[in-house]
Structure 1
């Protein structure tokens, strides 16, 4: 018989790269979780924008169970039916002609950046290797992607970093234009910055980047790891903006909780990743393909995408009303169900405290830096769950306003 495990075991056994909450979830359904003591929590975090259809969705369970009874894994020396079907779903739903499957958003971005440099070399432009990214971006934790991310706190301890990467302020087209040259092979940008503060791009900014990339022969890469799969109310955020990238990366919600990522691109660009030039052992796993296919089928429906926009209004209207009472937020922003509440001057640096006190109230939320509370709940979260979660959130915020601490 196995001995019980506790939150304290984390501190003894796990590499201390995380500081998880003081409770251990053991069961979940919809947008509610329960911990080891049976206490319930409403989930506004969504596994960091992963659980697009909530927890234990019956159709995802069935897809996984049925595939698990057939074929789990073969490696990349073989293909499989579920991943081929998912590839066709993504191609039919987007600009893309080809798909590369992997396990995470970082891997998808790594593949995109490698593709940009290899495409330039293959075309005879051996010096065309510059990459332009943006301040406060987040593209992953591999050495290449953490260097492209515009947050030095995540990269400074791992020098020397990959060279040839420059950063401009987000939403500053003039600054980007000054960096994009004939030696630029790619511009990588999040249509909505998630970790960097829930900052939506302006249409002018993304349109301008498209024009600059066309002018200089650079690839435009949209990192839609957090904004994709219905999160903004469109299947992918590029559809919301009407700007089509050359390469798109997707992960998080694509597997609905099962680890998977993908890089989408065009026929001509895909040809540069020829046999042996890139790979992954687990990417395109049949289990991931089966679950991802069902996620995409369920999310890419007009009523679900319209429901995301409706739920955005539920949140924003309630948060604005709450702020009238507490005077805590400088700005409430975001698209769809990726929402950020920036704390005003009186509450700067208190986002983590609000997160911790929310957990005490039975609510799971996210932060995006020291000053921004972030919500990324299920795309089908119910109105009663939203209402009760926001009641708990207000109690946590009121406690902060009254001087509470942990």
Structure 2
């Protein structure tokens, strides 16, 4: 019997070691990993520069308290500010905590309480994160949600323009909805969101938990749009697998997070900051991000060929974040792909999601495409 709460539908696979794009289970089976911890190990498993930075810090000091100055935090914050619309950073431990902090910051800075979010969004599993999420299934059984959240259809410019919610502190969105099906936002929709924020004097929160840290070919996905976010939430790829999150905000919001207004015991600890600084030093380089764009375009181009298969309805994505929508549930196909040695995951019942490392080789992309083609063309797979 397991002594773990059964909160996950776990696969019968245990990974014992991994490097780069590849993982090996306890039976010695090797997998091409196009999950990467759900867009977490953006530099692949066991990246030497990140590993070296953590090991070096390990021999000095792991943790003190945020009552002390922390030069590693300052360096990491400077890098995030230099590569975003923000000026100030609060470090925490996860994406859910980052979104929680973003919501608190928006409400406190504006003195207003309502937050507009979008259907099929996902913002975490804390009470504020659940309340912000536009999916009822994650809220079932948990009682009353935190009040003040209002949901509008995603990619519907008319719907956000017609939204009559008052006392709006912020609009919160993902530029590409990840858990909701790998749905990129349209230019027209994002323009309408920005106009709504201006009309209501509301802050714009962009949830970059999954899309950020180079995943779409820029430091943050919103950079490829006309958005000017006031607050950005970041996590997942930020520490290449080390637990860390961040709230990035504009200078004007600084007074709202004054001493005692928000805090964390473990957020910004030295090991996490060593991982962040090493990760950003690699990813936030123009030549690296240019390669991500090129590989992302290559992946999406190759995936388009899958539309020749009867089962495939649509292919979509941005950068190295891709979704293959099928005409039927994909669970059995994901199992079959795993048996073939390719790790992918769902994004809703009918979408196969691919999140390779940002330094994936084109030959590895080709190998993934071959496996997808073989499995999705097999009409004998149980569904």
Short-chain TM bin = over 0.9
Match for residue 168 of structure 1 among 144, 152, 164: 152
Deviation at 1:243, TM superposition (A): 1.3
Hey, what's the Cα distance between the residues in 1 that align with 2:296 and 2:194? 28
Hey, what's the Cα distance between the residues in 2 that align with 1:184 and 1:289? 34
Match for residue 391 of structure 1 among 356, 359, 370: 370
Matched, 1:117 2:107: yes
| TM-score normalised by L of structure 2 | 0.97
Hey, what's the Cα distance between the residues in 2 that align with 1:205 and 1:358? 35
Residue equivalent to 1:358: 337
Hey, what's the Cα distance between the residues in 2 that align with 1:283 and 1:143? 19
Deviation at 1:182, TM superposition (A): 4.1
Residue equivalent to 1:8: none
Contact 2:160/2:192 (8 A) holds in 1: no
Deviation at 1:275, TM superposition (A): 1.1
Match for residue 232 of structure 1 among 191, 210, 216: 216
Residue equivalent to 2:317: 334
Spell out, residue by residue over 1:175-208, the C-alpha distance to the aligned partner (whole angstroms, 9 max, x if none).
1233354411111000110000101111221122
Secondary structure of 1:271 counterpart: helix
The 5-angstrom pairing of residues 314-325 of structure 1 reads: 314-324=298-308
Hey, what's the Cα distance between the residues in 1 that align with 2:306 and 2:256? 52
Distance change >3 Å, CA 188–CA 68, structure 1 → 2: same
Contact 2:190/2:226 (8 A) holds in 1: no
Hey, what's the Cα distance between the residues in 2 that align with 1:59 and 1:387? 27
Deviation at 1:323, TM superposition (A): 3.4
Secondary structure of 2:275 counterpart: helix
Secondary structure of 2:60 counterpart: coil
Secondary structure of 1:51 counterpart: coil
Runs of 4+ in 1 over 6 A off after TM superposition: none
Hey, what's the Cα distance between the residues in 1 that align with 2:103 and 2:381? 46
Residue equivalent to 2:178: 194
Secondary structure of 1:304 counterpart: helix
Hey, what's the Cα distance between the residues in 1 that align with 2:306 and 2:136? 34
Match for residue 273 of structure 2 among 270, 289, 293: 289
Secondary structure of 1:317 counterpart: helix
Residue equivalent to 1:6: none
Secondary structure of 1:77 counterpart: coil
Deviation at 1:24, TM superposition (A): 0.4
- The count of corresponding residues between Structure 1 and Structure 2 is 383
Contact 1:222/1:245 (8 A) holds in 2: yes
Contact 1:27/1:35 (8 A) holds in 2: yes
The 5-angstrom pairing of residues 45-56 of structure 1 reads: 45-56=35-46
Cα RMSD between the aligned structures? 1.4
Spell out, residue by residue over 1:60-105, the C-alpha distance to the aligned partner (whole angstroms, 9 max, x if none).
1111111111110112222322211101111112111100100111
Unmatched segments (≥5 aa) in structure 2: none
Contact 1:72/1:287 (8 A) holds in 2: yes
Contact 1:166/1:179 (8 A) holds in 2: no
Matched, 1:107 2:97: yes
